Amino acid sequence: MSRALPTTIAVTLILCSCHKDAPLPATSADAEPLRWLDHADVIADFTEHVERQNDTRFISVFAFSTASAVGLDDTPEMRQLVQQHGGRHLEGTTDIISSAEQRRLLHKATDYAKQYNILLLHYLRGHPNT
């Protein structure tokens, strides 16, 4: 019985090291909601949402099963601003990747959200009564 555990562990490690992930397909239906990012203009979107619609919510993306605002330091000021202004998440973001195109677009979504949130942070600092 004392040899069974080390043998089981050794076999498990060998089997795990032999496993290779299958390559992702080039595209999937899950990429569709994110394709707008290929033509997105962060500054134009920011202007539309914040200056025209008075929508001062921060952007979040779904990752690891939660939505989180990206590009912001976790400081008391940031937590207060996010709590005060709220957030909206980018539809189609997820932590489950089903194609190479979706993975590429998810990276773009994160970059887009970072840029947008930094613009919003600077705007809110310059307009404290917003």
Q: What are phi and psi of 59, to 5 degrees?
A: -95, 140
The pLDDT value recorded for residue 129 is 85
Q: Three-class SS of residue 101?
A: helix
Confidence of residue 118 (pLDDT cuts 50, 70, 90): very high
Could you tell me the residue ranges of all domains in the chain?
25-126
Averaged confidence pLDDT in the chain: 86
Rg of the chain over Cα atoms, rounded to whole angstroms, equals 21
pLDDT higher than threshold 90 for residue 28: yes
| Each residue's pLDDT tens digit, 79-101 | 899 999 999 999 999 988 999 99
Using the Cα atoms of residue 66, residue 69, residue 71 and residue 77 in order, give the sign of their dihedral. Answer: negative
- For 5, 53, 69, 124, 128, the CA distances from 117, given in Å and listed in that order, are 51, 16, 8, 10, 16
